Amino acid sequence: EVQLVESGGGLVQPGRSLRLSCSSSGFNFGDHAMNWVRQAPGKGLEWVGFIRTKASGETTSYAASVRGRFTISRDDSKGIAYLQMDSLKTEDTAVYFCNRWTGGASFGAYWGQGTLATVSS
Amino acid sequence: DIQMTQSPSTLSASVGDRVTITCRASQSINNGVAWYQQKPGKAPKLLIYGASSLESGVPSRFSGSGSGTEFTLTISGLQPDDFARYYCQQYYSQNTFGQGTRLEI
C-alpha cells in the first residue's frame, strides 16, 4: 500500500527556517517525482513545487511565491522528500502536503495527510 | 504562469441533482487537467485526470470533459457524500489549482 507521511511542522518565528519531511512506503520512491502543495487555513490549494527523479536530473520547479526561499530535495535511499523553508513569512502559514506524481504527469493520486507549519511571532 | 479560473465558488444543490463545475485556463493546456474532491481536515482525493479519465475506484457519476482552455466536472445524481470542496488543477506546465468550489446542500 502506498503511504506518504509528512512531518516537521510546528510554530516558527518570521524570518526563521523549518524543514518538512515526506516519508514514503509501499512503492519504489526513486521512480517517482514528488510535489509539495500547501493550504492556508480556510483557503484553497496552492502548488509549492516539485522535484523530478534522479534519472531526470532531480530538477526542481517552484511557485513564484516561494522561489528563492524554499528548496526541495530528496533522499532516495531513505525514501524521503524534503521541503526546506527559509526566510519564512506569516503568509507561509499552512498545512503542507506532499504527493506523488503519476507516471510522468504531476497530478497526484497519492497524498500524505499534511503537516501544519505556523509562522508567527 | 498559467492561471485557472474556477466557477462557481459556491454551488447549492440537492441529493439527486446534476451539477457542473467549470475551469478556464489562461492559455491552451491540451488535456492536462485533474479534478480533486476535498473534505475538511483531509487530503485532496483525485477524481479525474487527463481532463476526462476516471481515477480507479471513483464512482461513475463523476465525469470530466473539455480540452484546450475550457474544462468541466459533472456530478450526475448527487449523493450525500459528494457535498465537499472541489478543485481543478492544470499540470500542463508546472502546476496551478483553481480557487475551489464549495458544493453545499
Q: What is the pLDDT of residues B26-80, one digit of tens each?
A: 999 999 999 999 999 999 999 999 999 999 999 999 999 999 999 999 999 999 9
d(CA A75, CA B13): 46
Q: Looking at beta carbons, which residues of chain A come within 8 Å of B96?
A: 47
CA distance A69 to B88: 26
Average pLDDT over residues A107-115: 95
Please enumerate in sequence order all residues whose Cβ is within 8 A of that of A68, keeping only pairs 6 or more positions apart, or say none.
none
pLDDT computed for residue B45 by the predictor: 97
**A53, A104, A56, A35: which is closest to B36 by C-alpha?**
A35
- The per-residue pLDDT for range A58-73, each reduced to its tens digit, is 999 999 999 999 999 9
- The answer, yes or no, to whether residue B105 has pLDDT greater than 90, is no
SS3 A35: strand
Measured CA distances, B27 to A66, B20, B49, B70 (Å) = 23, 21, 18, 10
Tens of pLDDT, residue by residue over A6-20, are 999 999 999 999 999
CA proximity to B105, closest of B8, B7, B6, B15: B15
pLDDT digits (tens, 9 = 90+) for B2-13: 999 999 999 999
* Residue B74 near residue B67 (C-beta atoms within 8 A): no
What confidence category does residue A105 fall into, taking pLDDT thresholds of 50, 70 and 90?
Answer: confident
Shortest CA gap B76–chain A (Å): 22
Q: How far apart are CA B68 and CA B39, in angstroms?
A: 29
pLDDT at A103 over 90: no
Whether residue B24 is predicted with pLDDT greater than 90 in this model: the reply is yes
Residue range A26-49: average pLDDT? 97
pLDDT band (50, 70, 90) for residue B96: very high
Q: Which amino acid is at B16?
A: G
Name the pLDDT band for A104 (thresholds 50, 70, 90): confident
> Could B49 and A105 be called an inter-chain contact, meaning their C-beta atoms sit closer than 8 Å?
yes
- Average pLDDT value for chain A: 96
A20/A81 Cα distance (integer angstroms): 8
Residue A99 has pLDDT above 90, yes or no: yes
DSSP A55: G
pLDDT, one tens digit per residue, over B37-47 is 999 999 999 99
Query: Can you read off the three cell numbers belonging to residue B86?
Result: 472541489
Residue of A nearest to B102 (CA): A44
**Residue A120 neighbours by CB distance under 10 Å:** 10
- Which whole number is the average pLDDT over A70-96? 98
- Kindly state whether A44 is in contact with chain B, defined as any CB-CB distance less than 8 angstroms: yes
Q: Is some CB atom of chain B closer than 8 A to the CB atom of A47?
A: yes
User: Quick one: average pLDDT of A88-96?
Assistant: 98
C-alpha cell at A31: 521512480
Interface probe, candidates A106, A110, A115, A116, chain B, greatest B C-beta count within 10 A = A106
- Alpha-carbon separation of residue A104 from A34, A98, B8, B24 (angstroms): 11, 16, 31, 23
Q: Taking CB atoms and an 8 Å cutoff, what residues of chain A touch B36? A: 45
* pLDDT cut 70: percent of chain A above it: 100
A59: cell is: 530538477
Reduced to 3 states, what is the DSSP secondary structure of residue A14?
Answer: coil
